[in-house]
Amino acid sequence: MTAITVPTAALILDRTTRTIWRRIADGSLPAITEDDRQKIPLDAVIREACIPIDPDDYELVTGTDAGDAESQCDLALLFLLRDRPHIAMPLLNLAAKDDYPEALYQIARCHIAGKGVPRDGNAGIMWLARAASRGHSVAQEQMRVVRESGTGTDLDALDALLERIEQRVVFAALETTATR
């Protein structure tokens, strides 16, 4: 039986760890002991998750629980898509500790747009530069354009500019891939 730790379950259920422990104690949430730790069966968490999680994405949950930065980032993107940035940000921050470029990039976009964090262009540009320095191709192009244009004070304009650049870079990559 696949099971995940209490902190991961708390994130996915959008509850505090204290609430999870209370539910384990009162029997309303099952728990098993694995590796001398209390864990929650994955199916119990999925049933009560605050967003729908497809079976194809269960690996993201177990990968997140195991500390895999790519899984943490991808699971965060699911929460962002479901308008749950307050859950996505802790997951992105976990992946950012491993300097995972996509997580660094998504944190930048969240700061610039004010999703899950206060809107802050300076922090957004800092995270964008960090993503670019780790090889994120969209962030690299965005930083190049931001430097050349001097954009940065009008956050709405910056957000729109970054969106246009991202689309251009992604479409160019898709076109290159399609012609091979």
- Please state the domain extents for the chain: 99-180
Of 10-19, 35-44, 95-104, 149-158, the one with minimum mean pLDDT is: 149-158
Distances (CA, A) of 95 to 35, 38, 63, 76, 144: 24, 24, 11, 9, 25
Which region holds residue 114: left if phi is over 0, alpha if psi is between -120 and 50, else beta? left
In tens, the pLDDT along 112-148 reads: 999 999 999 999 999 999 999 999 999 999 999 888 8
Structure pTM?
0.86
- Under the banding of pLDDT at 50, 70 and 90, the label for residue 155 is confident
> Residue 17 in contact with residue 10, Cβ under 8 Å?
yes
